[in-house]
A and B are shown apart, each in its own frame.
Chain A
Amino acid sequence: DGGITQSPKYLFRKEGQNVTLSCEQNLNHDAMYWYRQDPGQGLRLIYYSQIVNDFQKGDIAEGYSVSREKKESFPLTVTSAQKNPTAFYLCASSPWTDSNQPQHFGDGTRLSIL
């Protein structure tokens, strides 16, 4: 089945450590996105990528970094500069066309900083 795989589902890290969240898609979508969700809140866009080797900052990019070396993969690194990294992180993908297509989401990674 085609879809988006995020791993791990739960992640624990010590304060001050960088941590990388994985996101892989086999939908052949051009665009990929990372969102952050805090309890009782909506989704906020961290970074997005329209094409391999290119990405753009979203609304809350500070303290995060991404790479897009392959079409299928869009890993997110939460750096020690992110002041409050504990949250639910969601990855999504979509075709990048002018015809407007919905985003497909993974099941998320819940990050907790100890």
Chain B
Amino acid sequence: DAKTTQPTSMDCAEGRAANLPCNHSTISGNEYVYWYRQIHSQGPQYIIHGLKNNETNEMASLIITEDRKSSTLILPHATLRDTAVYYCTISGGYQKVTFGTGTKLQVIP
């Protein structure tokens, strides 16, 4: 399984953009990058995913580098409710996903 590397923790001021990086240097050509977040004691929530093009939805934007070895999740205007652990994962067509320890994002008032 492809593995990902994320910073352990990050802080972001409320109202500012939160940029969460992820390295996935062993990603294969048919594997997608997925982002989930987990608020304390709840199940992870899907945020966004992409293959090689940048993606945007109502929650966030995903920027994938041209070589696909890294990506950045952008929360454009972070709120206190965005405080959570964010997981970057890699998944191929067989859907077996490996979750690392994620990035703990703390949004500061």
State A24–B51 Cα separation when bound (angstroms).
30
- Write the B38-52 contact mask toward A (1 if CB under 8 angstroms, else 0): 000111111001010
Name the interface residues of B62-107: CB closer than 8 Å to any CB of A: 87, 91-93, 95-102
How many A-B pairs with Cβ below 8 Å?
A: 58
Interface of B is mostly: loop
Cβ-neighbour of A100 out of B32, B36, B41 (below 8 A): B32
Contacting pair B44 A98 (CB below 8 A): no
Interface of A is mostly: strand
Name the interface residues of A28-43: CB closer than 8 Å to any CB of B: 31, 35, 40-43
Name the interface residues of A4-52: CB closer than 8 Å to any CB of B: 4, 6, 31, 35, 40-45, 48, 50
Contacting pair B95 A96 (CB below 8 A): yes
CB neighbours (8 Å) of A64 from chain B are none
Tell whether A42 pairs with B97 under 8 Å between CB atoms, given A103-B46, A108-B42.
no
CB neighbours (8 Å) of B91 from chain A are 100
CB neighbours (8 Å) of A43 from chain B are 44, 87, 99
- Write the A81-108 contact mask toward B (1 if CB under 8 angstroms, else 0): 0000000101010101010101111111
State A110–B95 Cα separation when bound (angstroms).
25
Contacting pair B95 A42 (CB below 8 A): no
Contacting pair B43 A100 (CB below 8 A): no
CB neighbours (8 Å) of A41 from chain B are 101
Tell whether A108 pairs with B41 under 8 Å between CB atoms, given A100-B32, A102-B49, A103-B46.
yes
Q: Which residues of B contact A (CB under 8 A)?
A: 32, 34, 36, 41-46, 49, 51, 87, 91-93, 95-102
Q: Which residues of A contact B (CB under 8 A)?
A: 4, 6, 31, 35, 40-45, 48, 50, 58, 88, 90, 92, 94, 96, 98, 100, 102-108, 110
- Shortest Cβ-Cβ A-B pairs, 3 listed: A105-B43, A43-B99, A102-B46
